[in-house]
Chains A and B, each alone.
Chain A
Amino acid sequence: MVNITAINGEPVTGSKFGQDLTSFRQSKGHGHKAETKTNHSSETEHAAVESGAFSMETALNTPGFSEFLAGFPDAEVLDMDEADEKLVKERFEAFKEIPKASKKLGEILQAKILKDTSVKLKPEQLKGLEQGLMERVQNEGVEALKIINQDLEDYEKLPLAIKAKQEELSAMEPEDSLESKLIDSKESLGSAEERKTTLEAENNAFNAIVRGEKALGQFSAEFKIVEAEMQKAGLESVKTAQENAEQYGRYLEVVEKRAEVFAEAGMNTDELQNYLQAAKNKVEAVAKLDTGKKFSLEAAAGIMKNFDEAIDAAGGMSEDLLGEYRRGISEQLSKVDYADPESGEEVTKLNQKLDDVRKLSLRGFSGVARVSGPRSVWNSLEDAYRLKAEISTVLRNPADIGRIKDLNDLANRDDIGFGSLQDLYKNVSKVGNRIETEYRNNSVQKGARLYRQSKEFSGKNVLARAWKSFRNEGPVSAWKSFRKESPDQRHKVAMEKAEAVFSESLGKVAGLERKLEKLQNASEEKAAMELKLKSLTRYLFNEAEETRQVIAEVRKEFRQNLKVLTEPDASLEKALKAWQSLDSAFEESDGSGVEYFDAGEDYGGGREYDQLEKDAKELVMIVATREMVKGFKEFKKGSTTIEKLKLQMMSIERALGDTATSPRYLEVKNEVLEGLIDVYKKGSPGEKALAIVLKAYKAKL
């Protein structure tokens, strides 16, 4: 039995629900109104809902709703009194929403799905879509409609949200990236001093060029006069040209050597003027030679050309490499045998080389105009490459590799992300290597050109571009490539990859932070080492200072002892004692003084000690001689005996030992011996015999 009850309280038959509802409307006096409306009435709908209180009667009288309600599976058990009013109300609201949702779906169907087709949806097909939607609501409940409405709302709003995010992402400038920051810092901190040096060198070179050009202008003007005189003389024979070529070969050699000197010395104007005057005199002197010995105008013009080039090149070249190169060419030119008829070709080649060098003047060699020499070029490049390698290492941390590989695989492209970045670095290295090779081969023109090329690939620009490329070809474009994949796979794959990218992005940031920490640690370690070094230096300095003080004291004492020896009444005993004290003075200084003199032999220390010792010995000998003379005089005066004199002599001899080699001492000793021999000769036979022995002894001396 059906439990549905009509609003008038009379039961209706469930199986004929739709018919009974129609009868209900007619019986309650609404039949006329219902019959006159064939479609949904928005006025009625609004009245039913927006009046604040839901009206079951109004709802049931809304055309089509009764049939819609009857299509629900529970229609037969639906109670039409207050118990199910809430349910009926929800279904009525859904009923009203269906045409709007259906209309949107139809628009999407036509505009998106059938976009590339010629199919135009017919009204009955759109109606069928609405019916299909009704049927789904009836089968799955009003919740199904809510889900569909939410999907339709998302369908409209999500693209707008994406667009806004893309604009936000595009607005984020790459200049603040780690790479750019690092490079900016390095460049600004590292190149200031070099710039200063470069500017000074550039300024000097510029001034040299100005001076050189001025002097050359004067020389050229004067040479033209000479040239005109030569032309007037009409001396153009090949023979004389060859004969004079040798002389002008030497002339050219002198010119070029002088040009080198001028360039290296900063082109002193006065010196150049003097030299040019001498050169002019020489030209004039040659021009006045015997008519058969004049040089040809052609040879003279060639010489002038070389001179021009040599001056020009010398004035503007970077000193180190180009100077060396130029000197090499000059050397070859000086060896040319101008008497050889085939020497012209060789001279042409060498002139071409000189031309190459000339083009590398500051004006022609703009690629390295701001560096002082090739070494600076390479230092700069090496710094740049080292920095790039550091950054590359940061970007190659494990999280990045995993991430970028995934992106590359997904996009199935080789030129995305890490790949393109790596290529750029590779390119920079390749260009750098080529430049180095060219420089080594002295292909300076090629080297300069490649250097200019390398500037386009190096430094901040290349990294900014690389980063921009990485960013643009990063997650967003990789994701877009997912969309090209088949729909059944892409959702699953995309979700997995999205999650992977998110976690790996965090890994990248962590990697950069680790790198930063390392940089900071390295900086602190460096500072600590410098501190230690300073401390050690201070310690060593103090040690050295103490040693110096000790040595000064030793030297002072030494001098004082020597002074003792020079006193008039210094006894031999006192003199010997003073002498012996010299060594003890060194020993008392814990060996520092001795070590100083020994170790310092190469620097004068040893010589100083030797000289001091020699002085001391001389003084001792003087005192010893004086003692002996004094004793002998007393003996001759009779105030002392010969025995005492003998004892005194023996004492002196013993004290001096094998050091008694002073000529003056020996002379005095000889004199004393002669005196003794004279005394003994006149004495007893025994004494006469002793005189003979002493005579023999004296002869041995």
Chain B
Amino acid sequence: MQIQDLKQALEDGDIEKAKSVLQVFLSSDVSEKEAGKILLDLTMLHVQSENTFNKIELAFLDEAIEELKALKKVAANAGEALEQAELKSRIQNS
């Protein structure tokens, strides 16, 4: 029953449920071979899941950095243009 529950949790990708079932599973009398396959599935699910999200987060960070760089460039241009405009206005008014 525990093995079936664990397998089902793994198939569903529900890692939290899998962990809770795993605790009972590891303390039960089950063959090494059967346990080994399930432990491998569970661990790889965790590894691949973490990797996926880490990659996305990395992409987010890259984008955030690029966005800030672009904004800084625009800001610098805007500030410069404004200063030029004000300077021109002062000269005309003087």
Q: Do A and B bind each other?
A: yes
- Chain A contact residues, CB within 8 Å of chain B: 105, 108-109, 112-114, 117, 119, 121, 124-125, 127-133, 135-136, 148, 151-152, 154-155, 158-159, 161-162, 165-166, 168-169, 172, 176-182, 184-186, 189, 471, 474-476, 479-480, 482-483, 486-488, 490-491, 494-495, 498, 501-502, 505, 508-509, 512-513, 515-516, 519-520, 523, 526-527, 530
CB nearest neighbor in A for B37 = A132
Q: Which of B33, B46, B64, B78 contacts A516 (CB 8 A)?
A: B78
Chain A hits for B46, CB < 8 A: 108, 112-113
Residue pair B81, A519 in contact (C-beta under 8 Å): yes
Taken residue by residue from 36 to 68, chain B's Cβ proximity to chain A (1 for < 8 Å, 0 otherwise) reads as 111110111011111111111111111111111
Chain B hits for A505, CB < 8 A: 63, 66-67, 70
Residue pair A119, B39 in contact (C-beta under 8 Å): no
A177: min CB distance to chain B, Å: 5
Residue pair A513, B74 in contact (C-beta under 8 Å): yes
Chain A hits for B81, CB < 8 A: 516, 519-520, 523
Question: Other CB < 8 Å A-B pairs besides A119-B23, A169-B68, A498-B63, 6 of them?
Answer: A105-B44, A109-B43, A113-B22, A113-B42, A125-B39, A129-B39
B46: min CB distance to chain A, Å: 6
- Chain B contact residues, CB within 8 Å of chain A: 12-15, 19, 22-23, 26-27, 31-40, 42-44, 46-72, 74-79, 81-83, 85-86, 88-90, 92
Count CB-based A-B contacts (< 8 Å): 209
Chain A hits for B82, CB < 8 A: 181-182, 185-186, 189, 519
**Is chain B's interface secondary structure helix, strand, loop, or mixed overall?**
helix
**Is chain A's interface secondary structure helix, strand, loop, or mixed overall?**
helix
Chain B hits for A166, CB < 8 A: 61
Q: Which of B48, B53, B58 contacts A165 (CB 8 A)?
A: B58
Residue pair A155, B47 in contact (C-beta under 8 Å): yes
Chain A hits for B38, CB < 8 A: 132
Residue pair B76, A176 in contact (C-beta under 8 Å): yes
Chain B hits for A161, CB < 8 A: 58
Chain B hits for A509, CB < 8 A: 67, 70-71, 74
Chain B hits for A185, CB < 8 A: 79, 82-83, 86
Across the A-B interface, the 9 shortest Cβ-Cβ residue pairs: A132-B36, A128-B36, A181-B79, A128-B32, A178-B75, A158-B54, A165-B61, A523-B85, A132-B40
Residue pair A119, B40 in contact (C-beta under 8 Å): no
Residue pair B74, A516 in contact (C-beta under 8 Å): yes
Q: A131-B36, A155-B47, A185-B83 are in contact. Are A113 and B71 (CB under 8 A)?
A: no
